[in-house]
Amino acid sequence: MDMQVAKKKLGLKERYALMTRDLGWDTTYQPMNKVFPQAEYEGIKIHDWSKWEDPFRLTMDAYWKYQAEKEKKLYAIIDAYAQNNGHLNVTDARYINAIKLFLNGISPLEYMAHRGFAGVGRQFPGVGTRVACLMQSLDEIRHSQTQIHAMSNYNKYYNGFHDYTTMIQRVWYLSVPRSFFDDAITAGPFEFMIAIGFSFEYVLTNLLFVPFVSGAAYNGDMGTMTFGFSAQSDEARHMTLGLECIKFMLEQDPANVPIVQRWIDKWAWRGYRVLTLVGMMMDYMLPKRVMSWKEAWEIYFEENGGALFNDLARYGIRPPKFLDQIAFDKDHISHQAWGTFYNYAAACNFHSWTPTDDEMDWLSAKYPNSFDKYYRPRLEHWREEAKKGNRFYNKTLPMLCQTCQIPMIFTEPGDPTKICYRESDYKGTKYHFCSDGCKDIFDHEPEKYIQSWLPVHQIYQGNCFNPGVDPTAPGFDALGAVLDYYNMAVGRDNLDFEGSEDQKNFEAWRGMATKNI
Amino acid sequence: MSTVFIALQTNDDTRPIIESIMADNPHARLNEAPAMVKIDAEGKLTVKRESIEERLGREFDLQELHINLISLSGNLDETDDELTLSWNS
Ligand SMILES: [Fe+2]
Ligand SMILES: [Fe+2]
């Protein structure tokens, strides 16, 4: 790139002051608290909005200039990748299932982030914060659009990409990421900033975008690499917004500290649970691995998050709750999640498989405390059974956690052989949780979480069949009817990778790409 | 002292930027990964416009960093001349 640097008449600080801070005014026809009706009800006290400043000091004109440059680069690469049949250069077709999970489970959240930041940007009385939220809102719609464009190329050739807008609303496992964002967007503006701006962006998105996207590059997927890094280039700004926002809230009034602390505890746990999916993608779904989930967790959560919480200690903030359990679980959650998706492969819009021998050895080396002892024997057993023609498909429906909506697959703190169950009674009804973390969140806001739309409950209540389906008809196939409702093609989108249409097509097309047939 | 970091894509635009950062921050460590680098530094890291301009042979606006930036950590401050990342503790 050869950018022209215009001679500036004003320095960065002056430009930021004039083109951002000076854009706001106090209303006179209506009182400010009527114009910004959500600014006070959460109990956060702000005395001086002008104390908030974007340390990047990015103004809207500069924003458009750099975003345009990013878009030009991104679409040049995406076009070249598509024109060149780049999808046939990925390591092997199993990899594409990680991208299915991304499009179905993550891209819709980008769109929700766009809505969320547009919403809270409208609600903050401070102009610096509003402009930064506006930029993030635009970034997030860019992320969802560029991801949809990049992955539409895969949709031309592979199964499971065809209807993510329906699936995010209906499919059992997709309620996990969806409910996470629904939870954030239905909170007040300050809680949303801690939930998404701080906990998710600052503490957790590095785990998704940095090692996973580097992994996409390593697996030959230039399309995903380019949208991933392009999105992540905005992320640096988002993380800065999240960190500035939390420091601003803590500096404005000591009464804000306990409120913020509770949100940090809640959203660190909520985000950590959602990231289980990413752990499984890194450990099981990338044919060529960059680093293990555990290593990524150590770098980006323990080291980087540790530095962050040391820094925030001066405000009286402590690290999130349940860190001991989180530290213990890093040896386990990715394996527990993959085991679950292997079980439920009949109800998924992506394929699963048992790892190859060299992949199992890699997992043993990366997880010396857990893999050979707890997870390898089970995977080898499944592989043996599959060889005999008994590929195991679990046909029962799992119990779900009322808070994170993940099936009850996680184990007791310190004991990976025992499933963890917790429960709370509220107004005469019993609610179930996967962990102390999720129970803690429910107990503080039961009126919110009793409204959870839990896919398994909804199936049993008959709410997940297409109109006109009669569940009382003789020989009724409940799973088939649910998959119809999900708009999943049985035998095509679901089941094991071995023998799938994707596997056969990829092999045939790759063959055609290297030979004259 | 805690570690701050900056992560950048690896391409023709970033080569002189990475070189400048490494030259200006002798305590920094360069970690290379597929398609990217992550530069870690104890306590503080500074990105200087002048050093980048020297290597690039043209004028450089530090905000151009946004194009190839992947991630960072630490408290940030940016002026016309430098961008710093630091932890207070
Ligand atoms: Fe995003
Ligand atoms: Fe849970």
Cβ–Cβ gap A1/B13 under 8 Å: yes
Distances (CA, A) of A443 to A104, A189, A259, A450, B2: 31, 22, 16, 10, 35
Best B76, B77, B84, B87 residue to mutate vs chain A (most A CBs within 10 Å)? B76
- pLDDT of amino acid A56: 85
CATH superfamily of B3-86: Monooxygenase component MmoB/DmpM (3.90.56.10)
* Mean pLDDT of all residues in A123-136: 93
Ligand showing the shortest atom-to-Cα distance for residue A141? 1
- pLDDT of amino acid A2: 59
Q: Write down the ipTM of this complex.
A: 0.86
- pLDDT of amino acid A294: 96
Q: Measure A140 CA to ligand 1 centroid, in angstroms.
A: 5
| A275-331 pLDDT per residue, tens | 999 999 999 999 999 899 999 999 989 998 999 999 999 999 999 999 999 999 999
| A10 contact B CB<8A | no
Cβ–Cβ gap A236/B66 under 8 Å: yes
When the pLDDT of each residue in chain B is averaged and rounded to a whole number, the result is 93
Of A342, A413, A330, nearest in space to A380 by CA:
A342
- pLDDT of amino acid A7: 64
> Looking at the predicted structure, is the pLDDT value of residue A4 above 70?
no
Query: For residue B19, how many other CB atoms are within 10 A of its CB?
Result: 15
Decide: A116 and A192 in contact? Cβ < 8 Å. yes
Query: What are the contacts of A59-66 at 24+ separation with CB within 8 A?
Result: A59/A15, A59/A16, A59/A19, A59/A20, A60/A19, A60/A20, A60/A131, A60/A135, A61/A19, A62/B63, A63/A135, A63/A138, A66/B63, A66/B64, A66/B66, A66/B67
* Mean pLDDT of all residues in A111-128: 95
Grouping H, G, I as helix, E, B as strand and the rest as coil, residue A277 is: helix
Least confident among A334-338, A457-461, A477-481, A511-515: A511-515
How many domains does chain A divide into?
1
Distances (CA, A) of A268 to A189, A238, A240, A321, A438: 17, 17, 17, 8, 11
> Looking at the predicted structure, is the pLDDT value of residue A34 above 90?
yes
- pLDDT of amino acid A5: 66
Cα separation, A356 vs A362, whole angstroms? 10
* Mean pLDDT of all residues in A115-142: 94
| A67-96 pLDDT per residue, tens | 999 999 999 999 999 998 999 999 999 999
> Looking at the predicted structure, is the pLDDT value of residue A465 above 70?
yes
> Looking at the predicted structure, is the pLDDT value of residue A176 above 90?
yes
Length of chain B: 89
> Looking at the predicted structure, is the pLDDT value of residue A1 above 60?
no
Query: For residue A479, how many other CB atoms are within 10 A of its CB?
Result: 15
Sorting pLDDT into bands at 50, 70 and 90, what band is A23? confident
**DSSP secondary structure string for all residues of A132-169:** HHHHHHHHHHHHHHHHHHHHHHHHTTSTT-TTHHHHHH
Ligand showing the shortest atom-to-Cα distance for residue A176? 2
* Mean pLDDT of all residues in B17-25: 97
Ligand showing the shortest atom-to-Cα distance for residue A234? 1
- pLDDT of amino acid A511: 85
| A187 contact B CB<8A | no
- pLDDT of amino acid A395: 86
Ligand showing the shortest atom-to-Cα distance for residue A438? 2
What's the token pair of residue A271? 């985000």
Cα separation, A415 vs A467, whole angstroms? 45
**DSSP secondary structure string for all residues of A449-487:** HTT---HHHHHHTT-SS-TT--TTSTT--HHHHHHHHHT
* Mean pLDDT of all residues in B26-49: 94
Comparing A201 with A159, the larger pLDDT belongs to A159
When the pLDDT of each residue in chain A is averaged and rounded to a whole number, the result is 93
User: How many Cα atoms within 13 Å fall on the side-chain side of residue A421?
Assistant: 9
User: B31: nearest CA in chain A?
Assistant: A299
What's the token pair of residue A509? 């097309």
Q: What percent of chain A has pLDDT over 70?
A: 98
Q: How far is CA B40 from the centre of its chain?
A: 10
* Mean pLDDT of all residues in A25-45: 95
Task: Give the CA radius of gyration of chain B.
Answer: 12
> Looking at the predicted structure, is the pLDDT value of residue A6 above 90?
no
Which residue in this structure is represented by tokens 């209506």?
Answer: A30
**Domain layout of chain B by residue ranges:** 3-86
Sorting pLDDT into bands at 50, 70 and 90, what band is A348? very high
* Mean pLDDT of all residues in B37-52: 96
CATH number at residue A440: 1.10.620.20
> Looking at the predicted structure, is the pLDDT value of residue A517 above 70?
no
Cα separation, A313 vs A308, whole angstroms? 9
Cα separation, A261 vs A201, whole angstroms? 17
Residue B23 Cα, gap to closest chain A Cα (Å): 23
Q: Measure A435 CA to ligand 2 centroid, in angstroms.
A: 6
In a domain, A26, yes or no: no
Sorting pLDDT into bands at 50, 70 and 90, what band is A3? low
- pLDDT of amino acid A285: 96
In a domain, A61, yes or no: yes
Residues with CB under 5 A from ligand 2 (ion): A 401, 403-404, 434, 438
Of A1, A233, A311, the CB nearest to B70: A233
In a domain, A5, yes or no: no
- pLDDT of amino acid A8: 65
Residue B57 Cα, gap to closest chain A Cα (Å): 11
Grouping H, G, I as helix, E, B as strand and the rest as coil, residue A55 is: coil
Of B32, B33, B30, nearest in space to B41 by CA:
B30
| A376-387 pLDDT per residue, tens | 999 999 999 999
Grouping H, G, I as helix, E, B as strand and the rest as coil, residue A179 is: helix
- pLDDT of amino acid A497: 97
Cα separation, A26 vs A19, whole angstroms? 17
Q: Which structural domain, as residue segments, surrounds residue A128? A: 49-514
Least confident among A144-148, A401-405, A512-516, B68-72: A512-516
- For A86, residues 6+ apart whose C-beta sits below 8 A from its C-beta are A80, A220, A221, A222, A223
| A138 contact B CB<8A | no
Name the H helices within A124-275. 127-155, 164-170, 175-185, 189-192, 205-218, 222-252, 256-274
Task: Report how many Cβ contacts below 8 Å link chain A to chain B.
Answer: 113
Q: How far is CA A435 from the centre of its chain?
A: 20
> Looking at the predicted structure, is the pLDDT value of residue A204 above 80?
no
Comparing A9 with A439, the larger pLDDT belongs to A439
User: B53: nearest CA in chain A?
Assistant: A5
Task: Give the CA radius of gyration of chain A.
Answer: 24
Could you tell me the sign of the dihedral formed by the alpha carbons of A160, A164, A170, A171, in that order? positive
- pLDDT of amino acid A210: 82
Cα separation, B19 vs B13, whole angstroms? 11
In a domain, A183, yes or no: yes
- What separation, in Å, do the N-terminal and C-terminal C-alpha atoms of chain B show? 6
- pLDDT of amino acid A346: 95
Query: For residue A48, how many other CB atoms are within 10 A of its CB?
Result: 10
In a domain, A88, yes or no: yes
In a domain, A8, yes or no: no
User: How many Cα atoms within 13 Å fall on the side-chain side of residue A466?
Assistant: 11
| A445 contact B CB<8A | no
Of A58, A240, A304, the CB nearest to B63: A58
- pTM (2 d.p.): 0.93
Cβ–Cβ gap A1/B67 under 8 Å: yes
In a domain, A247, yes or no: yes
Residue A301 Cα, gap to closest chain B Cα (Å): 11
In a domain, A386, yes or no: yes
